[in-house]
Chains A and B, each alone.
Chain A
Amino acid sequence: MQEVAMPANNPAMALICLLIPLLPFIGFLINGLGNRKLPVGLAGFIGSATVFISFLLSLYLFFTFNGQPYLTDIFNWVSVGNLQIPISFQIDQLSLIMLLLVTGVGFVIHVYSIGYMHHDENFGKFFAFLNLFIFSMLLLVMGSNYVLMFFGWEGVGLCSYLLIGFWNKNQNYNNAAKKAFIMNRIGDLGFLLGIFLIFNTFESVAYAEVFSKATQIPNLLNAPVMVTITLLLFIGAMGKSAQLPLYTWLPDAMAGPTPVSALIHAATMVTAGIYMVLRSNVLYSLAPDTLHVIAIIGLITAVFAATIGLAQNDVKKVLAYSTVSQLGYMFLALGVTAYSSSMFHVLTHAFFKALLFLGAGSVIHAMSGEQDIRMMGGLRKKLPITFITFFVGTLAISGIPPFAGFFSKDELLAHVWEHSKIMWAFGVFASFMTAFYMFRLLYLTFFGTFRGTEEQRHHLHESPSSMTLPLIILAILSTIGGFMGMPAVFGARHYLADFLSPVFNNARIANPTMFEAAELSHSTEYMLMAISVGVAVLAIIVAYITYVKNRTVPAEESARLSPLHNLIYHKYYIDEIYNALIVRPVMWLSTNVYRFIEQSIIDPVINGFGKGVIGGGRSLRLLQTGDIGFYIFAMVLSIVLIIILNFRFW
């Protein structure tokens, strides 16, 4: 029987739960209000320390957790009719893992930011936004109902907007920020409608109630309402987690400072969609049709984004498309109901992708802002720590054992194999491309000879320890992170899957057939592993021959490319298509509505009222003659009129 989340009767525990999100919020207030007055060192310290204490408190919660989920009520927020929305936090296996991830990786990135943003004039503002982001993200993962999740969801969206457009003197960056914001709003509309439909169906928005009702109401399996709810929620996830067709904001979001790319666009915010689907696993298990859709969209996204990654020349853009692709993998896993594998990949991906982004930031820092890999090369000797950690991250994402990415991706692909062989083949193909473009990036950046300017060559230097230390920490996590989920063939325990298992109890009750384990034979499992490792190694060798041995450098901007190469280089012209299909018509519509409806109908009517009042006042003003005799006459006449009217002669 599924244990229902019970209220925590321990006040100390409640205080800790409250403090975890509150501390970053306090950091936000201090840094935000004292933006220009706080010394730089103090602002960085406050920003990082608050998140670090939250991390320690999360660790405490994790180690004192006894397997029994509990709720911590803070106060009642909304109470209308039978709609009750308390501010209350749910601590269970899923939120604990996310808590550790958000505060842990968040803290490391905060420390990195102290070094990376050191010369920026708005240092305090940056840390204020980072802290606000952590606060929103914590609300998102800790909230015990959909509305609170939506609150955090919007909060991270806002912070993403603020941070992408952090260097707001550059209009292109502002446009990227707006794009992220608007694309996310499209998804949020779906999420919001989903919440309304959940309330309409289950008469509650609290997880505990919705999920227990979902298991009790008969005939919900694949009912239209369940499919609609889950599809609407998934639209929200598509926006936040950059899935086709709502993914184009993420590569553009690389305009923000690099720590932001690492924090938001690799480790935390974009995984909110995965978290939301995992949280609603009961509902999704009741809607297998939606799961098919998710699996297909995830797979298409994984392959599609990987192909774009092959031809990008901006170091952060490559990583951005890689993130989109990896998120596609996670949705693919969700779609084949490999829930805990998806979470596993979220965790390992957070480690190695944050590492790769921070490593890229370290390279950009050394190159004085240069992001084009055609201008790099041979950085291996100048940036030894960055090189080694970046190499670890690249191995991890390519799926080379024993690095973290191998275990999670292999487990994920094994589940896809059980589900469909064709999907698995495409997944492996995407995995090949992943290894190829990641090693292309590595070789072009760190191997060969330096291709930048003389000035950049003299400026090259290893980053300060506040930046290299986070790299080392993340590199260690990327190396050993995979061991929390060893595959069964190696005879070790899958700690993560065992830990997360109770979260899916309701789903097991709701749809038992879905969870009937299809046991893979050991030989199959070894074969799958061998194939995925072999494919990755092959990709590495191909990349080595192309970019190190033959010293190929991607073509100049002006060079003519083959049609296919051109298509991929320009990201399939998706942005241009959106521009032509959606942006331009909307702009045209609004310009014309402005011209013909606003300017010719609404404006004259509104201005007419104003002009009428002004004109009336101008005429009536003339009655004020200042002539007392006239006033008295008017008064007497009025009184006589009032008396006559009161007699009602008619």
Chain B
Amino acid sequence: MDQIPEVIRTIPLNYYLFFSTTLFVIGVTGVLTRRNAIIIFMCIELMLNAVNLLLTAFSAYRSDANAQIFVFFIMAVAAAEVCVGLAIIVMIYRNIRSTDINILNNLKW
């Protein structure tokens, strides 16, 4: 634990935990309650970032770089996913002039 810079310790790890949990719950609530597909997307980003933050915090406190590699992966994958997802949403919008997920139920039984 000696190698951890003093400046990091000025904020305790618990704070990070609470903060990222709050962010994650906000994301989940957004995903569950909103109807606009783009906002749902943004809420998913929020959840991903909450996890990223937590990973970074733990990584810094334990001076272990592995978690930061994960963070990079998550960012890259999220970016790719957003590309595809946004493209789909744009196409949906062009077709039905709406991104309301409640009317996107054509594939039901």
Contacts and interface: CB of A to CB of B under 8 A. Distances in A.
Interface stretch (A39-47, A469-477, A627-635): A627-635
A633 B32 contact: yes
A624 B105 CA distance: 9
Q: How large is the interface on B (under 10, 10 to 19, 20 to 34, 35 or more residues)?
A: 10 to 19
Contacts of A625: 105, 108-109
B108 A624 contact: yes
Mostly, the A contact residues are helix
B107 interface: yes
Contact of B106 (A622, A626, A632): A626
A621 interface: yes
Contacts of B101: 627-629
Interface residues of A, number: 11
B8 interface: no
A95 B46 CA distance: 90
A626 B108 contact: yes
A582 interface: no
B22 to A, nearest CB: 17
A626 B32 contact: no
Contacts of B105: 625-628
Contacts of A628: 101-102, 104-105
Interface in B56-109: 101-102, 104-109
A621 B109 contact: yes
Interface string A588-632: 000000000000000000000000000000000110111111001
A338 to B, nearest CB: 83
B30 to A, nearest CB: 11
Contact of A636 (B32, B104, B108, B109): B32
B28 interface: yes
Q: Determine which residue in A621, A624, A626 has the highest number of CB atoms from chain B within 10 A of its CB, and name it.
A: A626
A608 to B, nearest CB: 24
23 contacts: A621-B109, A622-B109, A624-B107, A624-B108, A625-B105, A625-B108, A625-B109, A626-B105, A626-B109, A627-B101, A627-B102, A627-B105, A627-B108, A628-B101, A628-B102, A628-B105, A629-B32, A629-B35, A629-B102, A632-B31, A632-B40, A636-B31, A636-B32
List the 6 shortest-distance A-B pairs measured between CB atoms, nearest first: A626-B108, A626-B105, A628-B101, A621-B109, A624-B109, A626-B107
Interface of B: 28, 31-32, 35, 40, 101-102, 104-109
Given A627-B105, A629-B101, 7 more contacts: A624-B107, A624-B108, A626-B106, A626-B109, A629-B102, A632-B31, A632-B40
Interface of A: 621-622, 624-629, 632-633, 636
